[in-house]
Structure 1
Amino acid sequence: MFERFTKEARGAVIGAQQEARALSSRTIGTEHLLLALLDGEGPAAEALRGQGLRAGPLRATVARRSGTGDLDADALRTLGIDLDAVRRAAEDSFGEGALDAPAGRFRKGHIPFTAESKKALELSLRHAVRLKHQRLGTGHILLGVLHDGGSEAARVLGAEGVDLASVRAEVTRLLEAEAA
């Protein structure tokens, strides 16, 4: 299956592993694929950025939802320190994602994909076939990730107020324009 992936799509799969590592996750979920797609190039990144999404804030949302960082934030809050205010100040001074851990800092070795993320990658191939595309790109992966509105990635986007149907429509439009 991976032989049909474009260079950018392969980069997104590798990026998902890096996102999972950076967030100290034991598995690679659809939310990590989503972060890697947003941080990459191509139709997926364009469609997601068109919704006003940015990697740093979305990464913080994923971390909050997965529980990574919640204990630290609660502990700091008891000392009168607002971690969100610290993050905003650091990003204002040093750029988006300034406090994000470097990839690979917490875990080394293989991190397995969740059943949900494996299914999303399989669905991305189905979307490429449906659109009659020979190669599987980042847009197809995004369609696979968002195929099931109940995936963690879909829930993350929903929490951000993103309309999934409009993202699907936009990425499909971009894929069709790219293929023409």
Structure 2
Amino acid sequence: MFERFTKDARAVVVQAQQEARALRHDRIEAGHLLLALTAVEGGAARALDACLPGLDGLRARVRAEIDGLDPDALASIGVDLSAVRQAAESAFGEGALDRDRKEKRGHLRFTREAKKVLELSLRVALSNGHRFISDGHILLALLMLPESAPVRAMRNAGAELENVKSAALREITAEAA
């Protein structure tokens, strides 16, 4: 399947591993794939940025979802999670609030949900008549899991999921041309 991945899609998989490592996680989750989609300059990042200008807010929400924190609940009691994270990282370095785990060497394993996203990206590509899998296909596959942490993060950041889907399809169509 990976032979069908475009350069940007491969970069997303590599970046997802880096995102997991940066958060000191021992596996790659679907949320790490979304973090990677925002970090790799490609069609998916352009689609997300068109629907959610300033991807930093989305990144903070994804990180919170992965860690099981609810930024809205914290905000209701006066705690700005992104401000707390920024203050801690400026004082103690990046990842200061992340889980204290030993860094795992070698490849990190994908969770069942992350594997499902990659499998669905192939289905999305084939259903659109594409012989390649781009980062946009990965984004569309994520959207097919409405109860996943990354989709909750997109919704909580104010994204209209249909707009994200339309923007991703436009980017994929432009790539295919």
Q: Scaled by the length of structure 1, what TM-score is found? A: 0.77
CA apart distance, 1:49 = 0.9
Q: Which residue of 1 aligns with 2:94?
A: 100
- For 1:106 and 1:55, the matched residues in 2 are separated by 27
8 Å Cα contact 1:27/1:113 also seen in 2: yes
Q: Which residue of 2 aligns with 1:129?
A: 126
The aligned runs of 1:1-180 (5 Å cut-off) are: 1-67=1-67, 84-85=82-83, 100-101=94-95, 106-180=103-177
CA apart distance, 1:67 = 2.9
Query: CA 1:85–1:176 in 2, change beyond 3 Å: closer, same or farther?
Result: closer
Q: Tell me the amino acid that sits aligned with residue 12 of structure 1.
A: V
Query: CA 1:85–1:117 in 2, change beyond 3 Å: closer, same or farther?
Result: closer
CA apart distance, 1:15 = 0.4
The runs of 5 or more residues in structure 2 that have no matched partner are 71-79, 96-101
Mean Cα displacement is larger for which, 139-148 or 49-58?
A: 49-58
8 Å Cα contact 2:136/2:169 also seen in 1: yes
| Sequence identity percentage | 47
8 Å Cα contact 1:22/1:106 also seen in 2: no
Regions of 4+ moved over 6 Å: none
Q: Scaled by the length of structure 2, what TM-score is found? A: 0.78
Where 1:50 maps in the other structure, the secondary structure is helix
Count the aligned residue pairs.
164
CA-based RMSD: 3.0
